[in-house]
């Protein structure tokens, strides 16, 4: 367990499940490569009695044969005849587990749970009978089910209306590492990068442990990105297609939506998305958006002063944005590609959007740095398209506070101090003015600047910036 970095809340949930005096059904879900399997195996290594992993796209016969083989290897038993149904499979599993449960807590782990449920296999029905009829009565038994298809886990298990309804005792949505966890992970591997370079890596492919494992000592961020993303042998070179294909049955529609969102920094409403992609406006669209949201690729925000029906969707998966911006169709390859790209206009626009993504995922840190962690807040976005009487304006992060105040957050990623020019000062003034006029809010507005190295001292800074946070705040 000493190798587990961060995950403090999740580890506590797993510990509570293990030491409880009743049977537990723990559902763990999260996007591919986020470390779900590693977390369960490492934390429960001393109590793991049986583990079975589903095989993607396998037939019922293949899944049952895999299970039979795993039972024989784990419990050193030989069965007479093949297993022909999931009902029989769980009967044999009960026979093997019963002797263990009389004297110790035992964990059984079903990995890639959605893949086990082949069409017309009867797996889910047999599993809920196994749980309700026997497993739920074994105080020492802890059943952990895990899946990368987050939406499937939510619809089929957590929100199940049949035999598994309200049977999940604990659920864990495993998210990518935070910046703090990323820094700790790299330090544990004796990798020394300053926080500016760590944020650059995070902007390129997020806090995904499987990706971070590829980072080698003695290389700069530029070298690492170039090697992982622009060499044909790099881990992330062909990851985009594999990632979406492994999670979604009709993944081309999902990637179509993601591509549209990658082009709109301020996000799209459901209707705008339908208009741009031409996809159906029925329940299928809702399901696809739910799947992308539950899997962490997209986030939904309620615009300030609006309701749930006005949701704005934004792409919040760092790697997807990076891939679509720089990597798709092998647009760039070579030994020094990233160094060249980092001086382009495309790089600057990407930095702005990617840094915004990072800040949105670390709002807890931002609130803590602002001293408002204990105040109830609501997060939202806002945009005004412009009309005959007012210019257009947008705010990418609003922190609406219960103490009659609103933080208007502006996020800037720069290699040096950011300078507020006369033109930018006019932009700030317009943003605040249009926001107050169009929303009619009476709350106090605090213009909050979040940046890598800060804003240069000048008259404009003192006039407009109420609160300034540097990148270190995102790590604390």
- Which residues lie closer than 8 Å to 155 by C-beta, 6 or more apart? none
Q: Is 400 exposed, middle or buried (0-12, 13-18, 19+ CB in 10 A)?
A: middle
- Which residues lie closer than 8 Å to 393 by C-beta, 6 or more apart? 383, 384, 386, 430, 431, 434, 435
Q: Is the pLDDT of residue 1 over 70?
A: no
Q: Is the pLDDT of residue 334 over 70?
A: no
Under 8 Å between Cβ of 476 and 180:
yes
Q: Is the pLDDT of residue 206 over 90?
A: yes
- Output the pLDDT for position 2: 53
Bridge partner residues of 416 (DSSP) = none
What is the band of 465 on the pLDDT scale with cuts at 50, 70, 90? very high
**Residue for token digits 């009967």?**
91
Please state, in angstroms and rounded to a whole number, the distance separating the CA atoms of residues 40 and 26: 11
- Output the pLDDT for position 79: 76
The share of the chain scoring above pLDDT 70, in percent, equals: 98
Mean pLDDT, to the nearest integer, of 299-312?
Answer: 90
State in Å, rounded, how far the first CA of the chain is from the last one.
24
Please state, in angstroms and rounded to a whole number, the distance separating the CA atoms of residues 290 and 153: 12
Q: Is the pLDDT of residue 281 over 80?
A: no
pLDDT digits (tens, 9 = 90+) for 112-139: 999 999 889 999 999 999 999 999 999 9
What order do you get walking across the sheet with 170-173 strand by strand? 48-53, 106-111, 141-147, 24-29, 170-173
Give CA separation, 387 vs 56, 214, 310, 348, 392, in Å: 52, 50, 20, 29, 7
Task: State the SS3 of 230-268.
Answer: CCCCCCCCCHHHHHHHHHCCCHHHHHHHHHHHHCCCCCE
Give CA separation, 306 vs 52, 231, 346, in Å: 46, 45, 33
Tell which residue, 428, 348, 442, 368, has the closest CA to residue 394: 428
- Output the pLDDT for position 110: 98
Q: Say what the pTM is.
A: 0.91
- Which residues lie closer than 8 Å to 197 by C-beta, 6 or more apart? 220, 221
Query: What are 286's two structure tokens?
Result: 């809702």
Under 8 Å between Cβ of 90 and 98:
no
- Output the pLDDT for position 285: 86
pLDDT digits (tens, 9 = 90+) for 25-52: 999 999 889 999 999 999 999 999 999 9
- Which residues lie closer than 8 Å to 190 by C-beta, 6 or more apart? 217
Mean pLDDT, to the nearest integer, of 182-190?
Answer: 95
Please state, in angstroms and rounded to a whole number, the distance separating the CA atoms of residues 357 and 422: 27
pLDDT digits (tens, 9 = 90+) for 213-262: 999 999 999 999 999 999 888 999 989 999 999 888 889 999 999 999 99
- Which domains occur in the chain, in start order? 8-173 (3.40.50.300), 179-237+331-355 (no CATH), 241-323 (1.10.10.10), 362-474 (3.40.1350)
Query: What are 379's two structure tokens?
Result: 């997060």
| Pairing mode, strands 170-173 and 298-301 | unpaired
- Output the pLDDT for position 343: 86
What is the band of 340 on the pLDDT scale with cuts at 50, 70, 90? confident
Bridge partner residues of 172 (DSSP) = 28
Average pLDDT score, the chain: 92
pLDDT digits (tens, 9 = 90+) for 380-438: 999 998 777 788 899 989 999 999 999 999 999 999 999 999 999 999 999 999 999 99
- Output the pLDDT for position 324: 95
- Output the pLDDT for position 121: 94
What is the band of 4 on the pLDDT scale with cuts at 50, 70, 90? confident
Under 8 Å between Cβ of 447 and 408:
yes
**Residue for token digits 């996020």?**
411
Q: Is the pLDDT of residue 101 over 90?
A: yes
Please state, in angstroms and rounded to a whole number, the distance separating the CA atoms of residues 325 and 2: 38
Mean pLDDT, to the nearest integer, of 335-362?
Answer: 90
Please state, in angstroms and rounded to a whole number, the distance separating the CA atoms of residues 205 and 211: 7
Please state, in angstroms and rounded to a whole number, the distance separating the CA atoms of residues 25 and 186: 33
């Amino acid at each position: 367990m000493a190798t587990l970095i961060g995950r403090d809340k999740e580890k506590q949930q797993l510990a509570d499940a293990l030491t409880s005096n009743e049977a537990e059904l723990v559902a763990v879900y999260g996007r591919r490569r986020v470390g779900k399997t590693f977390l369960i195996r490492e934390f429960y290594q001393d109590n793991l009695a049986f583990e079975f992993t589903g095989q993607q796209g396998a037939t019922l016969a293949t899944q049952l044969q895999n299970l039979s083989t795993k039972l024989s290897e784990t419990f050193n038993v030989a069965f007479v005849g093949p297993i022909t149904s999931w009902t029989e499979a769980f009967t044999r599993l009960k026979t093997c587990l019963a002797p263990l449960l009389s004297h110790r807590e035992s964990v059984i782990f079903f990995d890639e749970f959605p893949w086990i449920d082949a069409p017309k296999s009867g797996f889910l029905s047999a599993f809920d009978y196994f749980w309700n009829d026997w497993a739920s009565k074994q105080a020492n038994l802890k059943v952990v089910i895990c899946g990368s298809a987050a939406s499937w886990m939510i619809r089929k298990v957590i929100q199940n209306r049949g035999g598994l309804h309200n049977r999940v005792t604990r659920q864990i949505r495993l998210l990518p590492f935070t910046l703090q966890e990323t820094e700790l992970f790299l330090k544990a591997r004796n990798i020394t990068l300053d926080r500016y370079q760590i944020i650059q890596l995070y902007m390129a492919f997020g806090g995904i442990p499987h990706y971070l494992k590829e980072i080698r000592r003695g290389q700069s961020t530029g070298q690492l990105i170039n090697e992982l993303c622009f060499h044909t042998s790099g881990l992330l070179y062909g990851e985009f297609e594999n990632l979406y294909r492994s999670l979604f049955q009709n993944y081309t529609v999902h990637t179509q939506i993601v591509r549209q969102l990658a082009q709109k920094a301020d996000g799209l409403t459901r209707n705008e998305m339908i208009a741009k992609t031409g996809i159906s406006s029925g329940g299928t669209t809702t399901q696809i958006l739910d799947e992308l949201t539950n899997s962490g690729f997209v986030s939904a925000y309620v615009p300030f002063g609006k309701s749930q029906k006005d949701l704005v969707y934004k792409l919040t998966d760092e790697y997807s944005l990076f891939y679509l911006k720089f990597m798709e169709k092998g647009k760039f390859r070579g030994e020094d590609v990233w160094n060249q790209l980092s001086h382009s206009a495309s790089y600057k626009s990407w930095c702005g959007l990617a840094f915004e993504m990072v800040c949105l995922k670390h709002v807890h840190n931002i609130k803590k740095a602002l001293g408002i962690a204990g105040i109830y807040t609501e997060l939202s976005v806002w945009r005004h398209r412009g009309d005959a009487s007012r210019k257009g304006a947008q705010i990418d992060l609003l922190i609406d506070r219960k103490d009659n105040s609103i933080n208007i957050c502006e996020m800037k990623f720069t290699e040096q101090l950011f300078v507020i020019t006369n033109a930018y000062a006019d932009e700030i003034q317009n943003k605040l003015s249009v926001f107050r006029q169009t929303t009619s809010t009476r709350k106090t507005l605090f213009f909050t600047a979040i940046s890598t190295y800060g804003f240069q001292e000048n008259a404009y800074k003192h006039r407009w910036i109420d609160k300034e946070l540097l990148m270190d705040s995102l790590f604390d």
